[in-house]
Amino acid sequence: GAVVSQHPSWVICKSGTSVKIECRSLDFQATTMFWYRQFPKQSLMLMATSNEGSKATYEQGVEKDKFLINHASLTLSTLTVTSAHPEDSSFYICSVTWDTYTDTQYFGPGTRLTVL
Amino acid sequence: LAKTTQPISMDSYEGQEVNITCSHNNIATNDYITWYQQFPSQGPRFIIQGYKTKVTNEVASLFIPADRKSSTLSLPRVSLSDTAVYYCLVGAPYNQGGKLIFGQGTELSVKP
């Protein structure tokens, strides 16, 4: 399967600042990546679908101006949390679609964001 | 999108076989069934995927009856390191507009 990395693995920031999270597909050219958010003791929630060279598709209820997604190459997608607030504190996970015919996805290790 | 129902939690002991059943009564013709494992503070890990009948790999087996309205993940001889949350997902391939929608998952606790 695909190997996916995320950077940073954890980040602490002050309220009002912006934080960028990187997702890299290390051994696979991913035209599509996905971003999820997971709060403690809860399941993963799909935030958006990131397509290389085009605008991301956001799920209902996810603010596109707050969660900026850039998929500039086949191996890198970035998620920027703008003007972060404590309620944005969460575990952010990206994934890549390995097989578009079966939708098998491989996930990154996740990034823990804590907003003070 | 098909909705899935799994037990919230299960307990087992080392060396036992564990079977986790997932109900997906509204599964569509194009939907695949996929199981993921997640440890705390880690991304989910792909375990197994199937469309119908039985699928087996080096870590698990997946049993899917003919009507495809349920599926059972079978973990042979579990160990303490199998303690994790297991998610059953049902959806169409991405190239047909599908996307992964996670349910609540099953928290498996393996005891010595």
- C-beta separation of B32 from B90 below 8 A: yes
Q: What is the pLDDT of residue A72?
A: 82
Above 70 in pLDDT, residue B2? no
> Cβ–Cβ of B99/A104 closer than 8 Å?
no
Nearest to A110 among B41, B46, B91 (CB): B41
User: Pairing relation of β-strands A76-81 and A67-73?
Assistant: antiparallel
Q: Convert the pLDDT of each residue in B63-90 to its tens digit.
A: 999 999 999 999 999 999 999 999 999 9
Highest mean pLDDT range out of A2-6, A11-15, B93-97?
A11-15
Q: Does B40 touch chain A (CB under 8 A)?
A: no
The burial of A101, by beta-carbon neighbours within 10 Å (0-12 exposed, 13-18 middle, 19 or more buried), is given as exposed
By Cβ distance, the residue of A46, A108, A109 closest to B99 is: A46
- The answer to whether residue A78 scores a pLDDT higher than 80 is yes
Is A61's pLDDT higher than 90? yes
Residue B11: what pLDDT?
97
B39 in contact with A at a CB cutoff of 8 Å? no
Question: In this complex, which of A49, A97, A102 lies closest to B49 when CB atoms are compared?
Answer: A102
**Mind listing the pLDDT tens digit for each residue in B16-64?**
999 999 999 999 898 899 999 999 999 999 999 999 999 999 999 999 9
B3 Cα to chain A: minimum distance (Å)? 14
What per-residue confidence (pLDDT) applies to A99? Answer: 66
Tell whether the model's pLDDT for residue B95 goes beyond 90. no
| Count of CB atoms situated within 10 Å of the CB of B92 | 18
The whole-angstrom separation of Cα B73 and Cα A81 is: 37
In eight-state DSSP terms, residue B17 is -
**The predicted structure's pLDDT at residue A1:** 72
Using the beta-carbon criterion (under 8 Å), do B43 and A43 form an inter-chain contact?
no
Alpha carbon A47 to its chain's center? 8
- Would you say residue B1 has pLDDT above 80? no
pLDDT band, very low/low/confident/very high, at A74 (cuts 50, 70, 90): confident
Min Cα distance A18 → chain B (Å) is 22
For A4, A79, A106, B18, B19, the CA distances from A34, given in Å and listed in that order, are 12, 10, 10, 31, 29
